[in-house]
């Protein structure tokens, strides 16, 4: 139970930092920010395993989760800008 709460809190912090680092108008409130951070962690884990940084069963650290969240925000901004134009 506490691991889910911890995941949500870390996801919120990572998502908020990614929104601060990435310029532009970002979607959603606290829930979307939390989901962004958690999804960034999944993406960071996937990318880390792809390049051999993480082994099977290991998850991304804070920095890699932040990088994953920033990548997700960049993808969002790319498609948002493309649909407006």
Average pLDDT of each block of 10 consecutive residues along the chain (85 residues)?
A: 82 91 80 89 88 80 89 88 70
62-84 and 2-21 helices, crossing angle to 10°: 50
The values of phi and psi at residue 58, to 5°, are -95, 150
Identify the pLDDT of residue 3.
78
Identify the pLDDT of residue 17.
92
Please report the sign of the dihedral spanned by the C-alpha atoms of residue 60, residue 9, residue 38, residue 24: negative
Q: Report the Cα 47 to chain-centroid distance in Å.
A: 12
Identify the pLDDT of residue 84.
66
Where do we find the tokens 């290991």? Answer: 58
Strands (DSSP E) found in the chain: none
Of 16, 9, 20, which Cα lies nearest the Cα of 33? Answer: 16
Identify the pLDDT of residue 66.
92
């Amino acid at each position: 139970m506490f691991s889910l709460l911890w995941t949500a809190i870390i996801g919120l912090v990572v998502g908020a930092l990614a929104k601060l680092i990435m310029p532009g108008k970002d979607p959603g409130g606290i829930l979307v920010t939390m989901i962004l951070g958690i999804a960034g962690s999944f993406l960071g884990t996937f990318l880390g395993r792809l390049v051999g940084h993480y082994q099977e069963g290991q998850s991304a650290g804070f920095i890699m989760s932040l990088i994953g969240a920033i990548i997700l925000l960049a993808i969002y901004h790319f498609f948002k800008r493309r649909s407006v134009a």
